Every structure is written in C-alpha cells, then in structure tokens.
Amino acid sequence: MRIAVLDDYQRVAEQFGPWDRLAEHEVVFFHEPLGDDEHVVVGLADFDVVCAMRERTPFPGAVIERLPRLRLLVTTGYANAAIDLDAARAHGVTVSATRTSPQVTVEAAWALILALARRIPQEERALREGRWRPAVGTTLHGKTLGILGLGHLGGAVAQIGNALGMRVLAWSQNLSAERAGEVGAELVAKDELFAQADVLTIHLRLSDRTRGLVGEQELRLMKRTAMVVNTSRGPIVDEQALAAALQDGAIGGAALDVYDEEPLPLDHPLLRAPNTVMTPHIGYIADSNYEIFFADTVEDIEAFLAGTPIRLLT
C-alpha cells in the first residue's frame, strides 16, 4: 500500500504519529500544498490511502472520481466539509475521521480575544521599535460575551467567560434555553446577541445556513467598540463587510484565525484593516491535538487493512 500524508507544512507528522506500525507499507509525507484539483489528481494518482490534514486540501467529487486507486481517505478531526462524502461513497472510497481535542481551539479563541482586548501584538511591536506609549486596553470583566454556537467549543468558551466575570449571551438556530443555562449562558435572539455583545465569538460549523451569517446587516447592529472573533470557518463571516466595518470604525476590532481563502492572499483587505489580530489557522495546531490526530490516523489505516474500518464518515 502507498500512503500519502498531506499538508505537513511544519514537518512534524512523522514525529507525532506511530508510523512504524505501518512499516510494511510506503508512507510519503507531503510538506507543500499540492495545488489545484489537477495537481492533486496527478500527485495522488499512485496512492491507495490519503491522509488529509483538516480542510487544507479539498476533495470534491471531480477529484475523487479521478483517483481510481484511492481506497481510504482519512481526515484529521471528526468532520471535513472539504470532502464530498457522497462522491466518496459512490466510488467506493472509505472515509475515516479522528478524534480531536476541543480545548485546543477554545484556548486559541481566548488567546485571540485577550490579545485583541489588550492590544498585545501592537504593544509588543511598539516595544521592539523603541516606542513606549501604550494604548488603553479593554477590560473584559463586566463586559458581555456573545457566542454564536454553543456546542462543545462554544460551551467551553462560555465557561471561561463566566470565570472572567463576563455576562454570557448565546444564540444559534436550534439552541435551547436549557442548553444555554447548562454552561452559564443566556439564550437571546440573534439580533440582540449582535447588539449587546462587546465580544462576539463564532463557534458554528460551516453549512449552507451559516455561510455569510455575519454580514453587513449584522455588523451594523454591533457597538462601535465591539470585537468580532472567528476561530470557526472563514466563510461564516462576510470578509468584505468586515473589512469595511473595521475601516469605517463601525466596530472596534477583529481577531481572526480562519479565512475564505487559505493561505490568505497578500492583497486581502483584512491585512490592511485597523485593530486586528490575525493568525494563520492555528486554532487546532498544538502538540496534544497532533498526538491524537496522527495516532488515530494510523489506527484508522490499521483498522481498514484489517477489514474493520472505524470512525466512519461514509
């Protein structure tokens, strides 16, 4: 069997996974993006198993149908919106997932919130440039935290907000008052969430009903001092509307880890927007998560080879 491990940008997959258990097979690590669909097809034509790192490389039906040798596709994480599961099923490709550590992304979200509120990147850069005129940061205690999506991630974010002495509000389409109360949050209407939040943080899955959910109309409802934080998926936020709101001073700032297009183009308007903290989709990148990802990936492959595939998405 030939096994491809994709998008190992940091060259650490081999270190974190027990690949020696697959010693009788050929494992190839890809350290650079393969590129567009045509390059993906050419690059993976001779592989039986492909291991995807989250959604860095998409697998639409047009790619899957052109990989006749592909038998198993493993994705890190418990879901992957970039894989056409119907196409995989139709072409006899098994798709397995891995577990993940939600706390990794929760900590990343709070790192961004605190960095934005206290202007950590700007102040660190000023210090190194010899400037000692700190700006006035924002205290979170007593402020309102608005959470879009109160699943495992959103619920953990809510609990930390409570620990910081924040009022916690939440909304999602199917959220109940009972679920909100379990994590110390209050269920409110969508417009009220945007209007009252001093910090709005997004923890929803990307779907047809969440794409563009935070747009120009929603941003207009927000306080001029409010901050938008997105560690979920880029397309949930209308990036052009967000960039315009930041440039116009309609909101106070944004902290972002995810984008419509990744890597983010150097000419993107968000890179020129004021009062931002931006990271290159690192919310899931941490040692504990990588240990889970790659151990489970090897286990998924072993189970498939034994005829008993596990953690199936198809």
Give the residue numbers annotated as catalytic, written as ranges: 233, 262, 281
Alpha-carbon gap, residue 300 to 298, rounded angstroms = 5
Instruction: Locate 263 and state its tokens.
Output: 């890597």
Instruction: Locate 139 and state its tokens.
Output: 């205290």
Sign of CA dihedral 157, 162, 165, 167: positive
Alpha-carbon gap, residue 291 to 17, rounded angstroms = 7
DSSP characters over the chain: -EEEE---TTS-HHHHS-GGGGTTSEEEE--S---SHHHHHHHHTT-SEEEE-TTSS-B-HHHHTT-TT--EEEESSS--TTB-HHHHHHTT-EEE-----HHHHHHHHHHHHHHHHTTHHHHHHHHHTT---PPP----TTSEEEEE--SHHHHHHHHHHHHTT-EEEEE-TT--HHHHHHTT-EE--HHHHHHH-SEEEE-----TTTTT-B-HHHHHTS-TT-EEEE-S-GGGB-HHHHHHHHHHTSSSEEEES--SSSSPPTT-GGGG-SSEEE-SS-TT-SHHHHHHHHHHHHHHHHHHHTT---SB--
Does residue 250 contact residue 223 with C-beta atoms inside 8 Å?
A: no
